[in-house]
Amino acid sequence: MENVIDEAKKDIIEKLIAGGELEATVALLKKQPTVEVAEIMEELMTEEQVLEVLSNFDQENQGAVFSDFDKDLQLWIFEHMDKMDFSDLFSHMSSDVRADFYQELEKDQQLELLPYLKKPVREDVIHLSSYPPETAGGIMSTDFATILSHMTVAEAIEKVRKDAPSKKMVYYIYVVDKKMKLQGFITLKDLIMASPGDMVESYVHTEFTYAEVNEDRESVAQKVERYDLVAIPVINPLDQLVGIVSHDDVIDVIRAEHTEDFEKFMGIVPDKEDNDYLDTTVIQHFKKRAVWIVTLAAVGIISGMIVHSFEDTIYSLMILALYMPMVADTGGNSGSQAATVVVRALALGDVNVGNWMKILYKEFRVSILLAVCLGLLAYAKILFLSWETDIPEAYSLYNIAFVISSALSIQVVTATVIGAGLPLLVRRFGGDPAVAASPAITTVVDITGLLIYFTIATTFLL
């Protein structure tokens, strides 16, 4: 977690801990937000001290603080805390967080915990844990309130009190029938402003956005973001309300998806373990990076074969070798830029594969403008840097500069089209477009660039 706690506050707590003043430490911690309490305890206390201090909080705050601990500390507390006491703590965690923690446990640990849980909690955690983590069911919470449309406002308020959802989940109250089929929703403001004798059905919003339980979590996040929702209801195939996904869960999803896309974009194999950089071992880093790097290095042999096949051309005009990196780098940058724009547009839902013709045409027009600018710059650069370079008398530096800059311009156009088209092609066949980006595109563009460069040089200069 990022260190955002006031240093003076930490110094006071550290002194209290060192002096063994448990009551004063607990009293001061109870005044802080739970996320700060978790950070202070992790940073300043031993595991034994954490367990001792945590036991002095009420069960609701125990669950909140425990939820903000890192995974290793959570597992240590589980192993060393009395299981009856832990079951109380566990029951006071939010439903989605405790399901996530339950899935982190080994099978024997799960079986050790289950007998201590009350039946509703046990059924709830088993139910939530049954959904794949990448679906709406895998991130949803059962912490919500429901009412019936034929209730009066007064009856509805009493029902909400009985359901006792957490404070952050009470903004939307869902209207269902006796079979839990979702009819709509009503806001807390609607209930408060209505007269106690009014019927709920008069205030129900029947036009609403929902997620299906097996829907991909990224799609759910996009709906919450698009419609600016605090939470979105999740229904099963029978249209029954089974959970909700709140905005804070969506933030976690967006962060995880962005991390995954970024890693794929840079040729890093995503890891199921969402560890911090320093918590990830050297071997894990190696495994994540080696696959793509080694594969693309092997494919890069083709580039060497192309250069080798044009040895005579290079021998005749050594100046061509001087500007190979410029052409390759410019092509790689152009392709990566186009890929980044297209992958982002696909991720945000701005475009889809069906728009491929419009996308490629637009990128082609952009590439023409870039090619003119970069071609002129390359022409001037060659004349400036190579005016004293030894060139065979049969050739003119102006002609060589024109040919090289022309090859670079054509490379920019082809690289941009490849960079835009490859992610679309991958998506068309059901793959992740981010995988086709950056290292993969750079390698492909290098190969095509060398072919373009030496073919044009050989055709017009030799």
Least confident of 45-59, 78-92, 145-159, 167-181: 167-181
Residue 295 reports pLDDT greater than 80:
no
Residue 53 reports pLDDT greater than 80:
yes
Residue 238's CB: how many other CB atoms inside 10 A? 9
Q: How far apart are the C-alpha atoms of 216 and 212, rounded to whole Å?
A: 9
Which of residues 290 and 120 earns the better pLDDT score?
Answer: 120
Q: How far apart are the C-alpha atoms of 360 and 338, rounded to whole Å?
A: 10
* Amino acid type, 459: T
Q: How far apart are the C-alpha atoms of 143 and 248, rounded to whole Å?
A: 13
Residue 113 confidence (pLDDT): 92
Residue 282 confidence (pLDDT): 82
**Which domains are present in the chain?**
7-130 (1.25.60.10), 146-246 (3.10.580.10), 300-461 (1.10.357.20)
Closest CA to 433 of 369, 329, 347: 347
Over range 295-306, report the average pLDDT.
80
Residue range 116-167, pLDDT digits in tens: 999 889 989 988 988 988 899 999 988 888 999 889 999 999 988 887 666 6
Mean pLDDT of the residues in the chain: 86
Residue range 227-249, pLDDT digits in tens: 888 899 999 999 999 999 988 88
Quick one: how far is CA 119 from the chain centroid? Answer: 35
Residue 275 confidence (pLDDT): 60
Residue 2 confidence (pLDDT): 43
Residue range 333-355, pLDDT digits in tens: 899 889 888 888 887 778 888 89
Q: Compute the radius of gyration of the chain from its Cα atoms.
A: 31
* Amino acid type, 280: T
Q: Are strands 211-212 and 146-148 parallel, antiparallel or unpaired?
A: unpaired
Residue 3 confidence (pLDDT): 46
Residue recorded with tokens 């002095």: 56
Residues 6+ positions from 429 with CB-CB distance below 8 Å: none
Using DSSP's 3-state secondary structure scheme, residue 146 falls into: strand
Least confident of 16-20, 40-44, 457-461: 16-20
The percent of residues above 70 in pLDDT, for the chain, comes to: 91
Residue 218 confidence (pLDDT): 86
Over range 47-62, report the average pLDDT.
89
Using DSSP's 3-state secondary structure scheme, residue 233 falls into: strand
Residue 263 reports pLDDT greater than 70:
no
Least confident of 8-17, 109-118, 285-294, 424-433: 285-294
Please answer whether residues 263 and 288 qualify as being in contact, where contact means their C-beta atoms are separated by less than 8 angstroms.
yes
Over range 417-425, report the average pLDDT.
91
Residue 438 reports pLDDT greater than 60:
yes
Which of residues 313 and 415 earns the better pLDDT score?
Answer: 415
Residues 6+ positions from 338 with CB-CB distance below 8 Å: 363, 366, 367, 415, 416, 417, 418, 419, 420
Residue recorded with tokens 């079979």: 179
Residue recorded with tokens 């446990």: 105
Least confident of 88-92, 226-230, 279-283, 426-430: 279-283
Please answer whether residues 310 and 458 qualify as being in contact, where contact means their C-beta atoms are separated by less than 8 angstroms.
yes
Over range 195-201, report the average pLDDT.
92
Residue 151 confidence (pLDDT): 92
Please answer whether residues 234 and 243 qualify as being in contact, where contact means their C-beta atoms are separated by less than 8 angstroms.
yes
